[in-house]
């Protein structure tokens, strides 16, 4: 059994290498944003080490920059990272039914889109040590990339830092565009979110950016779910 866990750990670390390399590059841009919000390299490192979510961390950094309350930061982060709850449930069901609760909790600590993708592709039952192996590479890469971004932001000229700050928005565009091409509803609501955010910033200037994000996220996601519900597997099979 111990040998089996060692093999799973090694396989996870191997599969996590390309993800870790990508995370370092993306987290560098996140570090620039953290630096602009006044965070130190150490603070940026631990923010990413315990956060492990680009959208959630950027939302948190935005709230920090606005000097908002802790409750607001918690709500923004919860909404931005809500999809990871569903991923955790799905991944937990792939474990051996006898798997201890501690493994389910530890694996849920660092589920991201990419790490979930390689884990869910493994045959059942999923060995939690495979996830741990990928985490050993991905988490330090993400946290270190953020810290290096903060340090670079402190050393580079202001114009360069301003230019690098745009890279993070490019990352979010890269995340949104592919699903928007596949699904017109996603594209429509992405455009609506831009327009609604701009309008809210003009009509509701008294509200902080974090509060506007919370309200618009709940409003638009609820509207999308009500108007364009995603059919479950049973419904799809019945329609086919």
In the chain, what are the domain boundaries?
A: 2-175, 183-230
For residue 52, is it left (φ>0), alpha (ψ between -120 and 50) or beta? left
Collapsing DSSP states into helix, strand and coil, what is residue 97?
coil
Q: Report yes or no: 128 and 99 within 8 Å, Cβ to Cβ.
A: yes
pLDDT per residue as tens digits for the range 1-20: 678 888 989 999 998 888 88
Q: What is the pTM of this model?
A: 0.67
Say yes or no to pLDDT of 21 above 50. yes
Mean pLDDT in residue range 39-49: 92
End-to-end CA distance of the chain: 44
Mean pLDDT in residue range 231-240: 52
DSSP 23-50: HHHHHHHHHHHHHHTT--HHHHHHHHHH
Say yes or no to pLDDT of 35 above 80. yes
% of residues, the chain, pLDDT over 90: 15
Ranked by mean pLDDT, the top range of 50-54, 97-101, 134-138, 205-209 is: 134-138
Mean pLDDT in residue range 215-234: 77
pLDDT per residue as tens digits for the range 135-176: 999 999 999 999 998 998 777 776 666 666 565 566 566 657
pLDDT of residue 161: 60
Please enumerate in sequence order all residues whose Cβ is within 8 A of that of 81, keeping only pairs 6 or more positions apart, or say none: 53, 55, 56
């Amino acid at each position: 059994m111990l040998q089996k866990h060692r093999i799973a750990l090694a396989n996870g670390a191997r599969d996590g290498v390309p993800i870790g390399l990508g995370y370092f590059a993306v987290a560098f841009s996140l570090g620039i944003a953290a630096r602009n919000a006044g965070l130190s390299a150490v603070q940026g490192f631990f923010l990413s080490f315990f956060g492990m979510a680009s959208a959630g961390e950027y939302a948190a950094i935005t709230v920090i920059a606005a000097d908002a309350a802790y409750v607001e930061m918690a709500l923004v982060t919860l909404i931005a990272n809500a999809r990871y709850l569903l991923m955790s449930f799905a991944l937990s069901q792939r474990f051996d039914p006898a798997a201890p609760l501690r493994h389910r909790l530890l694996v849920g600590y660092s589920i991201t889109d990419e790490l979930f993708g390689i884990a869910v592709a493994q045959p059942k039952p999923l060995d939690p040590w495979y996830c741990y192996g990928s985490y050993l590479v991905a988490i330090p890469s993400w946290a270190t990339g953020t810290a290096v971004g903060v340090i670079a932001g402190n050393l580079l000229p202001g114009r360069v830092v301003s230019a690098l700050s745009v890279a993070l928005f490019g990352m979010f565009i890269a995340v949104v565009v592919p699903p928007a091409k596949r699904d017109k509803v996603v594209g429509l609501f992405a455009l609506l979110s831009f327009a609604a955010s701009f309008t809210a910033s003009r009509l509701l200037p008294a509200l902080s950016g974090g509060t506007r994000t919370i309200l618009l996220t709940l409003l638009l996601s609820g509207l999308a779910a009500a108007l364009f519900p995603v059919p479950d597997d049973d419904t799809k099979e019945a329609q086919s």
